[in-house]
Amino acid sequence: MRMARTAIETGDLSVDEPGGTDAVLARGLSKALGSGVRRVEAVRGIDLAVHRGEIFGFLGPNGAGKTTTLRMLTTLLPIDAGTALVGGVDVARSPEEARRRIGYVGQLGGADQQATGRENLVLQARLCGMSGAEARRRADEVIEQLELREFASRFARTYSGGQRRRLEVGLGIVHRPEVLFLDEPTTGLDPQNRANLWDEVRALRAAGTTVFLTTHYLEEADSLADRIAIIDGGRIVAEGTPTELKRGLGSASIVIETGLGDGALEALRRELEGQPLVTAVGAAGRSLRVEVTDGAAALQPIAAAISARGVPLEALSLSTPSLDDVFLHLTGRSLRDPGTEAGSTPTGGAR
């Protein structure tokens, strides 16, 4: 779960290292929002290192501090304490220079609905300082790259959710940023559009762009991100590749569905509890859920114990930890719980 030794650990944040591996480097990043009783410590001393050319997933529940962090990293919100470098440039000291390296697609999006997709892109390119001809050329390139062709000549207000998101990503990359920040890029999209956007994000990585995206979708972080940081209550609670994070949990569960009645099921439950590698066994209906430290190693002896008892077996399955299990383990809550308002508590709160 540990990240590679970076400037965070060496304490060397002041050196501009264009050839370095960190596209984003933050240390002790903090932000309080609101005032008086409404004051919220939204981000509480975050350390982050995003490697060049990777897709980095910033995962956390509603109110965890994802957007606040992103807005600090992208110069949109002043930093209270700590340091942030993007592409080696200090965002507080050299915001203009940092902005040239940054693409940002906000949670609410920012396309002009009364203009066509192409017009939006040309305007964005002009705002980035390109000449008219250059801007039109760049707009066409982005239209090709993100496959916006079929709707680029329509007013943005006529776009579907997925089309709108793709245009917004296009607006974020017009100036060829080193690092593209996407705040919840697929929220509200149907599975098909979500998968399309994932493909676009992977294509951007293949073209050399570092992508930093926030999400509260576990599947998105798991399948799209090369590495993940999990944020909760303004603090990073874990960082690593999805595999590392899940392996770090070191456990799995075996679900056994039987045709047994209560008494026999309880007897089997007690027997399995005594098996090596088993940490807990829970019963629900006619099935047992066996928590084990090593799924692959425990499966065989458990199957043997069941078979020795002549238990009528209906199904047996092994499930390895998910990122939700990781989150549950670290915070005691599930990311899947609807309405989990795991946001920061006001200053002086219980957290």
Ligand X SMILES: Nc1ncnc2c1ncn2[C@@H]1O[C@H](COP(=O)(O)OP(=O)(O)OP(=O)(O)O)[C@@H](O)[C@H]1O
Output DSSP code: residue 130.
-
Q: CA-CA distances (angstroms) from residue 44 to 80, 227, 334?
A: 10, 21, 21
Total residues at the site for ligand X (CB under 6 A)? 17
33 contacts ligand X (rule: CB under 6 A)? yes
The first and second tokens of residue 186, run together, are 């697929």
Decide: 168 and 189 in contact? Cβ < 8 Å: no
Among 6, 30, 67, 83, binds ligand X (CB under 6 A): 67
Return all residues near 1 (Cβ < 8 A) that are at least 6 apart.
238, 239, 240, 244, 245, 248
Of residues 210-269, which lie at the interface with ligand X (CB under 6 A)?
A: 216
Complex with ligand X: residue 62 or 317, whichever CB lies closer: 62
Window of 31-39, 76-84, 140-148, 261-269 that interacts with ligand X by CB under 6 A: 31-39
Rounded to an integer, what distance in angstroms lies between the CA atom of residue 26 and that of residue 77?
Answer: 14
- Tell me whether strands 313-319 and 278-284 are parallel, antiparallel or unpaired: unpaired
Closest approach of ligand X to the CB of residue 154, in Å: 29
83 contacts Mg ion (rule: CB under 5 A)? no
Q: CA-CA distances (angstroms) from residue 190 to 107, 113, 181?
A: 17, 21, 21
Closest approach of ligand X to the CB of residue 6, in Å: 24
38 contacts ligand X (rule: CB under 6 A)? yes
Among 41, 44, 59, 67, binds Mg ion (CB under 5 A): 67
Of residues 83-112, which lie at the interface with ligand X (CB under 6 A)?
A: 107
HSE-CB at 193 with a 13 A cutoff on CA atoms is 15
Q: Which does 115 bind (CB under 5 to 8 A by kind): Mg ion, ligand X, none?
A: none
60 contacts ligand X (rule: CB under 6 A)? yes
* Binding positions for ligand X, rule: CB under 6 A: 33-34, 38, 40, 42, 60, 62-68, 107, 216, 343-344
